[in-house]
Amino acid sequence: MPHSVFAFCLAASAGSLPGGDLVLVGIVAGVAVLSIAVAVALLRDVLAAGQGTERMRAIAAGIQQGAAAYLARQFKTMVVFVIVIPFVLLLLPAESAGVRIGRSAFFVVGAVFSGCVGYIGMSLAVRGNVRVAAAAREAGEKRAVRIAFRTGGVTGMLTVGLGLLGAAVVVLVFQGSSAGVLEGFGFGAALLAMFMRVGGGIYTKAADVGADLVGKVEEGIPEDDPRNAAVIADNVGDNVGDCAGMAADLFESYAVTLVASLILGKVAFGTDGLVFPLLVPMIGAATAVIGILTVTPRGRDRTAMSAINRGFFISAVVSAIGVAVAAFAYLPGRFSELAGTAVAIRTVAGDPRLVAIAAVLIGLALASAIQLLTGYFTENTRAPVREISRSSLTGPATVILSGFATGLESSVYSALLIGAAVYGAFILGLGNTTLALFAVALAGTGLLTTVGVIVAMDSYGPATDNAHGIAEMSGDVTGAGAEMLTDLDAVGNTTKAITKGMAIATAVLAATALFGSFRTAVEDNLAKAGRTASSFSLSVDKPNALVGLVVGAAVVFFFTALAVMAVGRSAGRVVIEVRNQFRTKPGIMQGTELPDYARVVDICTADALRELATPALLAVMGPIAVGYALGYAPLGAYLAGAIAVGALMAIFLANSGAAWDNAKKLVEDGFHGGKGSPAHAATVIGDTVGDPFKDTAGPAINPLLKVMNLVSLLIAPSVVTYSTNPAVRAATAAAALLIVVAAITIAKRRTHRLTPAGDGQAPAPPEG
């Protein structure tokens, strides 16, 4: 930012931080830079490892090229939004011109940082995979787990570093006015994450479903057999979906939670509330290094999951101690000593240090509980997955029923845990709603003190999945090494499910806090318009609020349907393409002719980029249509409905999909007839149903909730301003609704014509 713009923004700040606080925020920025340096050190450690045989390196190179090509095309598609939206943000009301400019500028920063985390994480994952396979072949489990987890550790430390750096720079530059600018930073991160999550999820599951249905079920060949034309696309998809998409998703979770805590912190704790929420993740950055470096299997560990759990819980305990020290060192002992807060908060009888510590501990406890609960429902050594595996003896219908029920049951317990955490944090508000919402935001920040380890756990999944695929395709890893990679891959399914559970927990905490910010924004603008805040009621005995609640819940279902249908359309084209290649090229099965891998990669890429826009437009335009058509109170109810249903839906989808996947792996390990048996075919079908659940629709609900909340927060002032102007309201709502309807109509026209078996015809291109 040029010096003149910097000075203009600083002059526009509503209040400045004391000199000591500025120094602390500067230290936070320095720790953020050090976190990025740690990521570079871990990167060098991973790249120094051996890459195995020439065949293994060649397969890895193909995966690298496919992943890089997809992301390059995806970024070209998304750049239009990154260019256009900042100009739209300039038109929306803000407390000053400087904040309006800063909000637009940091929208771009948030989007770029989110894209960088996803791209760099993916780039290393497609290089770490072959090194994990080589380590399993040459050095054993200890070295393989270390490389896989440190591959994810690079992405984890980048997430911490860039998220903390962006928030710290905003606070340093805009100080008292930073809350408005942070809205832009969070929105940029969340919107880009949604594009990457939805697009990557469609790509990866279209390839995976197509590869499994034709390869495993119809042709009876292994999952990663090089004779399957979809196998390279499947391995590429693991990285653009599970790694790039999820890394961007977790980055935006981190950024948006920081945004929510800083916005509410300014109101609740004054200037102290702009600093303490930065100190908590700064401590988390340091403990993340400890957690990542301690993940090394020991002799008494049952699986690699034991070592990963150990690293996570060590990180959580050290974070709790560090936050307690920071709270007593920085915060005063009475609310009356907090400068710049509302009178109602200064009169609260209590100790802000204890409130802050308790809120952070609630977040850490929630993270630990989700870790254990998700592991119980998705690990292949636990009763739920074993029960799904046993149900395969009676066919695919019972596999689907048992997996469906497992996902539903797990979502109830997880939702109760999240609800208990939100309510526990709310109680800490001691009767003051603003303070209570800040406590909820701090709980989210506490959960994310472990984000470095959480992201490492997520990226561990695609690294081991790809390693298993490279080993099987090359045929150069056999015996104990191959069995080890199968086990590590199963653990990866659990770690991915855990990180999705963590992500949705942060989404609910952040969305709840942002919902409080939305209410505050509405009430402030009502006051400016000379109207009483009592006109803003979310009571469901008012029909308009009830309608908003129902519509918000329905949007989650519709968003899920769009994502799953997109996978179904694309997977259908992949199935036809792979079938036709087997029929028209008989040399493929004999191993004398190579499949056309590039054709399937191109199908998945084109379909993913076409399909990602519709769900994203629904997320952005939905709140605009509801807010202008029904009003600000129904818009608040809309957000409440989406948060409640979104939490349940996301957990159900993620856990059922992971459970089906690991049930399949149990059968492939020799249970209930092993590979090629009817039980195996039944679990493959269950897994293909679960694929778009756990890797497309489920995790995409996380950025959906935050995008809708941030859009609502950004448009709140104008919704209030034009609430008495029917013409503007009707025109704006109609335009937003028209965009959504047009996008959905176009998506519905993208049908594929399934050709009769044996005619040898290529699949018809999608219409529209």
What would the pLDDT profile of 357-382 be if each residue is shown by its tens digit?
999 999 989 988 888 888 888 888 88
Query: What residues contact 517, with CB distance under 8 A and at least 6 apart?
Result: 260, 263, 264, 437, 713
Q: Are 577 and 762 in contact (CB under 8 A)?
A: yes
pLDDT at 736 over 90: yes
Per-residue pLDDT tens digits for 87-133: 988 888 777 888 889 999 999 999 999 888 888 888 888 888 888 88
Q: Among 221, 196, 21, which Cα is nearest to 699's? A: 196
Distance of CA 295 to the CA centre of its chain: 23
Among residues 19, 467, 481, which one has the least CA distance to residue 235?
Answer: 467
Q: Are 63 and 236 in contact (CB under 8 A)?
A: yes
Residue 540 lies in a domain: no
Tell me which of 672 and 30 has the higher pLDDT: 30
Contact (Cβ atoms closer than 8 angstroms) between residue 438 and residue 273: yes
User: Rounded to two decimals, what is the model's pTM?
Assistant: 0.82
The alpha-helical segments, DSSP class H, found in 270-335 are 272-293, 304-330
**Selection from 473, 598, 700, 474 nearest residue 70 by Cα:** 598
Q: What is the mean pLDDT of residues 28-40?
A: 92
pLDDT tens across 552-589, in order? 999 999 999 988 888 888 888 888 888 888 888 888 88
The residue with tokens 């084109």 is 606
The distance of Cα 696 from the centroid of its chain, to the nearest Å, equals: 10
Residue 200: which of 236, 170, 174 has the closest Cα?
Answer: 236
Q: Where are the alpha helices (DSSP H) in 224-297?
A: 231-237, 246-269, 272-293
The span from the CA of 42 to the CA of 21, in Å, is 32
What mean pLDDT, rounded, does the chain reach?
83
Helix (H) or strand (E) holding 122: helix 97-138
CA 638, CA 540: separation in Å to the nearest integer?
Answer: 11
Domain count, the chain: 1
pLDDT of 266-276, one tens digit each?
778 877 778 88
Can you read off the two tokens belonging to residue 384? 């739920």
Residue with tokens 């897994």: 687
Taking the C-alpha atoms of residue 512 and residue 374, their distance in angstroms, rounded to an integer, is 22
Around Cβ 5, how many Cβ atoms within 10 Å? Answer: 14
Residue 739: per-residue pLDDT = 92
Residue type, 44: R
For CA atoms 81, 83, 88, 92, the dihedral sign is: positive
Q: Is residue 623 part of a domain?
A: no
DSSP 693: I
- C-alpha 47 chain-centroid distance: 26
Q: How far apart are CA 580 and CA 553, in angstroms?
A: 41
Judge whether residue 509 has pLDDT over 60. Answer: yes
In a domain, 598, yes or no: no
Q: Does 31 score more than 80 pLDDT? A: yes
Which residues 6+ apart lie within 8 Å of 333 measured at CB?
A: 351, 352, 353
Return d(Cα 441, Cα 210) in angstroms, integer: 42
CA–CA gap between residue 472 and residue 475 (Å, rounded):
5
Within-domain flag for 364: yes
- Whether 95 is covered by a domain: the verdict is yes
CA dihedral 118, 146, 655, 394 (to 10 degrees): 130
Look up residue 765 and give its DSSP letter: P
Q: Which residue from 241, 294, 366 is spatially nearest to 374, judged by alpha carbons?
A: 366
Residues 6+ apart with CB under 8 A from 743: 613, 614, 617, 618
Domain residue limits at 296: 3-525+653-708
Contacts of 40 (CB under 8 A, 6+ apart): none
What's the CA gap between 231 and 155, in Å, rounded?
25
DSSP symbols for 382-428 = SHHHHHHHHHGGG-HHHHHHHHHHHHHHHHHHHHHHHHHHHHHHHHT
Residue 331 forms part of a structural domain: yes
Does the residue 196 lie in any domain? yes
At 276-292, the pLDDT tens digits run 888 998 998 888 888 88
pLDDT at residue number 629: 92
Structure tokens at 388: 């799904």
pLDDT over 80 (residue 247) = no
Q: How confident is the model at residue 534 (pLDDT cuts 50, 70, 90)?
A: low
User: How many other CB atoms sit within 10 Å of the CB of residue 229?
Assistant: 28
Residue carrying the six token digits 């050095």: 139
Q: Are 245 and 699 in contact (CB under 8 A)?
A: yes
- As a whole number of angstroms, the distance between CA 474 and CA 337 comes to 66
Instruction: Write down the pLDDT at residue 656.
Output: 92
Q: Name the H helices within 139-241.
A: 141-174, 178-211, 231-237
Q: Is the pLDDT of residue 759 over 50?
A: no
Q: Is residue 581 part of a domain?
A: no
Residues in the chain, overall count: 768
φ/ψ of 228, rounded to 5, equals -85, 120
Q: Do the Cβ atoms of 203 and 605 come closer than 8 Å?
A: yes
CB contact at 8 A, 378 and 407: no
Instruction: Between 665 and 754, name the one with better pLDDT.
Output: 665
Of 229-233, 249-253, 675-679, highest mean pLDDT: 675-679
Decide: residue 602, CB within 10 A, 0-12 exposed, 13-18 middle, 19+ buried. middle
Q: How far is CA 58 from CA 127, 178, 470, 593, 644, in A?
A: 12, 49, 10, 17, 47
> Which of 130-134, 481-485, 536-540, 730-734 is least confident?
536-540
pLDDT in tens, 695-712: 888 888 888 888 898 888
User: What six digits make up the tokens of 52?
Assistant: 């195995």
- pLDDT single digits (tens) 581-620: 888 888 888 877 888 888 888 888 888 878 878 888 899 9
pLDDT grade for 754, boundaries at 50, 70 and 90: very low
Name the residue type at position 538. Answer: L
- Give 675's pLDDT tier (boundaries 50, 70, 90): confident
- Predicted local confidence at residue 536, as pLDDT: 65
DSSP output for 603-622:
HHHHHHHHHTHHHHHHHHHH
What pLDDT shows up at residue 34?
A: 94
Question: Among positive and negative, which fits the CA dihedral 691, 693, 694, 699?
Answer: positive
Instruction: For residues 441 and 456, give the distance between their C-alpha atoms in angstroms, rounded to a whole number.
Output: 23
Which residue's entry shows tokens 């401590």?
283
Tokens 């079920």 sit on residue: 217
State the average pLDDT over residues 21-33.
90
What is the CB-side half-sphere exposure of residue 74 using CA atoms within 13 A? 34
Helices (H), 669-725: 678-692, 698-721
Sign of CA dihedral 369, 363, 166, 253: positive
In terms of Cα–Cα distance, which of 261, 254, 250 is closest to 513? 261
Q: Is 298 exposed, middle or buried, given 0-12, 13-18 or 19+ CB atoms closer than 10 A?
A: exposed
